[in-house]
Structure 1
Amino acid sequence: MAGTDRTAAQDDVGFVRRIGQFQASAINMSQMVGIGPFITIPAMIIAFGGPQAVIGWVAGAVLALADGLIWAELGASMPGAGGSYIYLREAFQYRTGRLVPFLFTWTAMLFIPLIMSTGVAGFVQYLAFLWPSMSGGQGDLVGLAMCLAVVLLLWRRIDSVGRLTSVLWAIMIVSVACVIVASFTHFHAADAFTYPAHAFDLGSTKFWLGFAGGLTIGIYDYLGYNTTAYMGAEIKRPGRVLPRSIVYAIVGVMCIYLLMQIGTLGVVNWHDMIDPADPASRSVAAVVLEKAWGRTTADVITVLILITAFASVFAGLLGGSRVPYDAARDKVFFKQFGRLHPRHRFPVLGLVAMGVITAAAFLVSRHLGDAQAHPPLTVLITFLTTTMVIVQAFAQIAAVTVLRRRQPGLRRPYRMWLYPLPSVVALAGWLTVYVFADRNNPGLHPIEGSLGWVALGCLAFLVWARAEHTWPFGPKEIDERYLHAPADPSGAPEEAGADGGPTTT
């Protein structure tokens, strides 16, 4: 194990800290604003039952900011490549060995493909604007073909995705800007600010069920604010840049989302957005553009949105397939995932597994959901958020406190503002998303599904741990590499080398 730790340390030291404040904030924003806002505006209206849906975007931003401050403290203290995997490994190794980082990788094998499947669903939704006669079966085939195309395109050596990221960013910016400009040049305030009766009745169960559903959709749309935490080894002055990149990105994206939500409400009647037979319920941005600038312009921008959806799935599976590979290389996951293609040098099993799960999740959501009560997109968002809550969100909230007690000497260039208030707010927000999941999705049982997946992961861990002779079938290996790491010239703690290896207990 010590040799593996030295290898991982050398890998992280090999990164160059060259990403500054502007680039870091832009990276977070580009990951946050993908296909999400184009496909979830009608879903947010359905959740709240009217234009008061703007509450969902604000609530999602509050939860993202509170949770983002947790990421900021952990990322600034342990600025290596890996994000959650590092933080959970460092915090929970004392009592449960490698269990928690194993479970994180296990759940990532599900929630990353679930996120990607929302991009597939969004692609099919917007394609219907260009292909109105597309049947349900044809939509299924299109989605499956898209998944296969992504896997085939990734079945090669990928040295850099910088060009793809730049193209995706430019297309996304053009698409969002066009929708916002079109909205406010044809805006009708009466449509945007006319609310149904009892829209803000805080004493009704209906309001809070809608709030929980809207918060779930909102936090899904803000996911990506933590991207720079996974790139900690490449961030300049991470104690300063990383926290600011999170806050700047969340505030900036919240403004974009509010403008898009309010703007579309001023052009498209909200009743049309919740009518499954109306195109606005599936491709609201295209309908806004058609009403404002005509069909031809709407078709052109819809093509850009389709490209955005495809590219987001491509980039997501490219990065996601590396998660089990990195864990297997560090000997905290099944070693089969640590093998690379002999010629093209990509993780074969990780790519295939996540591609298959993405396709399966897309198909299941199409047939589990229905146009009225459970739109397929909402089904996917609910399952992915409930899956990631237990092992990532709840665990990281606990990790901040655990590390403050277990490693009080750990360098913390950034300490969470108003601690522990952000942790309390984040916990309340994630609990709201989790606890109301079943009530907002009767018959689908997302809570039971998430608990079942974690339980299955625990059984998989026992099988793996027995084969690897590690805890609970062997000694715990305590690795405090960041606690003993020297500071680099920018003030960030580095990975320890050979002298910072693990101790066995």
Structure 2
Amino acid sequence: MKQQNHLKRSLGFFSAISIVIGTIIGSGIFFKQASVLQSAHNSTLAISAWIFGGVITLAAGLTIAEIGAQMPYTGGLYVYIEKLYGRILGFLAGWMQVIVYGPAIIAAVGGFTGILIANFFNLNDSWRIPLSIGCMLFITIINFLDNKVGAAFSVITTIGKMIPIAAIIIFGIFWGQNNALGQTISDVKQSSGGFGVAVLATLFAYDGWILIANLGGEMKNPQKVLPQAIILGITIVLTIYTLITVGILRFIPADLIERLGEDTTTYLATKAFGNIGGKLLTLGIIISMLGTLNGKIITFPRIVYAMAKRNDLPFSSYLTYLTPKGKSPIVATIFITVLATLMLVLFDPDRLSDLCVFTIYCFYILAFFGIFKLRRENSNRPFSTPLYPLVPIVAILGGLFIVVSELFNDPAGVVLFLGIVAVGLPIFYYLKRKEKTSRNKAIEINENHD
């Protein structure tokens, strides 16, 4: 399978920012309103949690933008951690994203999309998993084509998702009868957590901002485009999320949101715009989530590709295969989709997604500390994080806040996920030993031949 393995640099600023916004805005903002409110216990703290989650994400984005501008390669966090801390931690960062984080997030978004499509056509629950798998396969096939096709789909769905978002914001804020602030839910569950858990729930909705870094090797002028896309994209999403939350709380009382759970946004759409209008709004949300699914499926295979290029995964020679014309990592894309499908069928993707936020923030914090290391080593920077060192410190403290909150909220889940990450170590040593053995055999053959 010999070929010129080079990804094509064809993504510009608008494609990049569409991927950032399209990847972030998906199921979280529509499905996490009730869980954030349950943990926060009142509407003021719920709105604060969405803002706080956005500020943490923006500080993280500004910090990573400086690091990413100095390392504009395919692989994102996997590459950053390796260059900052060495091969073993770099491998674990990639392993975590490839085996757990990426497939679980894709499964979660695919699962939520399947639920909405089943509700849209009034189908029973038995259709949820087939529809979810169908959505993932559809997006996977799109990404078999030239990377411009996937990027164009991101642009279209990003524009399309703004229609239901604008409708919810405008109708909720201007026609809602409630005060968005000061509402308290009467039925507080003992296991609902606190403000830290509420922020953690918002971070699933903000998830995806760093995935654009996985496409660094496919961008035109990545040193300039990558920081711009990350910063502007996160700022836009933070504003949208705050306005959507205020709009929903203005239109639906906090107690009712808590009871409706994942059906909150569908209820608002139907009540505000009637059955037909509600259906159209739900269709817009489905398009939004397909765009998010596309963002995940277009980016995670690039981590697989980057790791396979280094022989860091089994069957690496196959996983590095690129289509001759479009230069798309087709085998890596199939690999991620298969893992996501297995997770969707066998596990609860919702809980997996929450724990994935904890797991990836462990590696985010390592990357945030890396900015201080790079500042000491390199004075030439294509992009400098503003308000340094305050912004990186906010990112680190925010990340520690999330990690500690989840440790107290779900210690068993934390141990499980850290265990899955640790399993990568023996695999890493096995692959390296196998690579060393093959190299020694090749040397021996050459010596005998001579």
Q: State TM-score, norm by structure 2.
A: 0.83
Q: Which residue of 1 aligns with 2:82?
A: 89
What are the residue-to-residue correspondences of 1:28-67 with 2, within 5 Å? 28-52=20-44, 53-67=46-60
Contact 1:188 1:266 in 2 (8 A): yes
**CA, structure 1 residues 157+197, in 2 after alignment: closer, same or farther (shift >3 Å)?**
closer
| Structure 1 residue 148 displacement after superposition | 4.7
For 1:252, the aligned partner's letter is I
- Structure 2: how far apart are the matches of 1:418 and 1:217? 27
Q: Distance in 1 between matches of 2:238 and 2:291?
A: 22
Residues 62-91 of structure 1 show CA distances to partners (whole Å, capped at 9, x for unaligned) of: 211221122121122233343223322322
Query: Counterpart in 1 of 2:149?
Result: 160
Q: Distance in 2 between matches of 1:26 and 1:318?
A: 12
Give secondary structure in 1 for the equivalent of 2:32: helix
Instruction: Say if 1:51 and 1:194, in contact at 8 Å, map to a contact too.
Output: yes
- Paired residue for 1:175? 164
C-alpha displacement of 1:103? 1.7
The within-5 A match list for 1:191-230 is 192-196=180-184, 209-230=193-214
**Separation in 2 of the partners of 1:308 and 1:101?**
32
Q: How many residues align?
A: 432
Cα distance in structure 1, aligned partners of 2:48 and 2:30: 18
- Larger % of helix: which? 2
- Equivalent position to 1:283, from 263, 282, 290: 263
Structure 2 residue identity aligned to 1:169: T
Matching residue of 1:323: 303
Give the deviation of 1:258 after TM superposition. 1.0
Query: After the TM superposition, which residues 8-407 of structure 1 pair with which residues of structure 2 at under 5 Å, given as runs?
Result: 11=6, 15=9, 19-20=12-13, 24-52=16-44, 53-93=46-86, 98-109=87-98, 110-127=100-117, 129-130=119-120, 134-135=124-125, 137-151=126-140, 160-190=149-179, 192-196=180-184, 209-232=193-216, 234-236=219-221, 238=223, 242-275=226-259, 280-334=260-314, 335-340=316-321, 347=329, 349-366=331-348, 377=350, 379-390=351-362, 392-405=363-376
**2:444 aligned residue:** none
CA-CA distance at 1:24 after TM superposition: 4.9
Q: Is the 8 A contact 1:60 1:218 kept in 2?
A: yes
SS state at 2:50 partner:
helix
Deviation string, structure 1 residues 204-237 (Cα, Å, up to 9, x no partner) = xx89942111211222222333355444453548
3-state SS of the aligned residue for 1:161?
helix
**CA 1:348 to 1:73, structure 2 compared with 1: closer, same or farther past 3 Å?**
closer
Going from structure 1 to structure 2, the CA distance change for 1:316 and 1:227 (only over 3 Å counts) comes to closer
Q: Residue 23 of structure 1: CA displacement?
A: 6.0
Deviation at 1:59, TM superposition (A): 0.9
Aligned position for 1:424: 393
CA distance in 1 between counterparts of 2:195 and 2:388 reads 26
Whether the 8 Å CA contact 2:173–2:246 is kept in 1: the answer is no
**Do the aligned residues in 2 keep the contact of 1:228 with 1:242 (CA within 8 Å)?**
yes
- Cα distance in 2 between the residues matched to 1:79 and 1:318: 17
Task: Choose the corresponding residue for 1:413, options 382, 397, 400.
Answer: 382
Aligned to 1:483: none
Map 1:413-492 → 2, pairs under 5 A: 413-441=382-410, 445-469=412-436
- Cα deviation for residue 365 of structure 1 reads 4.5
Aligned in 2, Cα 1:197/1:237: closer, same or farther, shift over 3 Å?
Answer: closer
Counterpart-to-counterpart distance in 1, 2:211 and 2:381: 19
Provide the C-alpha distance between the structure 2 equivalents of 1:422 and 1:207, rounded to a whole number of angstroms: 33
**CA 1:467–1:126 in structure 2 vs 1: closer, same or farther (change >3 Å)?**
same
Q: Is the 8 A contact 1:267 1:288 kept in 2?
A: yes
Q: Structure 1 residues 34 and 132, CA, compared in 2 at 3 Å: closer, same or farther? A: same
Alpha-carbon distance between aligned partners in 1 of 2:213 and 2:191, rounded to the nearest angstrom: 35
Unaligned runs of 5+ in 1: 200-205, 367-375, 475-505
> What SS is found at the alignment partner of 1:266?
helix
Distance 1:243 1:341, change over 3 A: closer
Deviation of the 1:46 alpha carbon: 2.1
Q: Percent identity?
A: 21
The one-letter code of the counterpart of 2:223 is: P
Residues 52 and 199 in structure 2, CA contact (< 8 A), matched pair in contact too: yes
SS at 2:251 equivalent:
coil
C-alpha contact 1:326 1:338 (8 A) present in aligned 2: no
C-alpha distance in structure 2 between counterparts of 1:44 and 1:447, whole Å = 20
Mapped to 2, the partners of 1:68 and 1:268 lie a distance apart of 32
In 1, Cα distance between the equivalents of 2:285 and 2:334? Answer: 26
Q: What is the alpha-carbon distance in structure 2 between the residues aligned to residue 291 and residue 30 of structure 1?
A: 27
Task: Verify the 8 A CA contact 1:382 1:446 in the aligned structure 2.
Answer: no
Q: TM-score normalized by structure 1? A: 0.75
Question: Cα offset for 1:316?
Answer: 1.9
Instruction: Quote the RMSD (CA, aligned, Å).
Output: 3.5
Q: Aligned with 2:22: secondary structure?
A: helix
Distance 1:359 1:168 in 2: 23
List per-residue Cα deviations over 1:185-204 (Å, max 9, x = no partner).
421133x23422899xxxxx
Residue by residue over 1:132-160, the C-alpha shift from the partner in whole angstroms, topping out at 9 and shown as x without a partner, is 6723x443443344445545665667663
Q: What whole-Å deviation, never above 9, does each CA across 1:90-119 have from its counterpart, x for those lacking one?
A: 2223xxxx2233222211112111111221
For the residue of structure 1 that corresponds to 2:73, the secondary structure is coil
1:259 deviation in Å?
0.9
Going from structure 1 to structure 2, the CA distance change for 1:438 and 1:129 (only over 3 Å counts) comes to farther
Cα distance in structure 2, aligned partners of 1:76 and 1:158:
21
Pair 1:418–1:198, CA change in 2 (3 A): farther
**C-alpha contact 1:175 1:304 (8 A) present in aligned 2:** yes
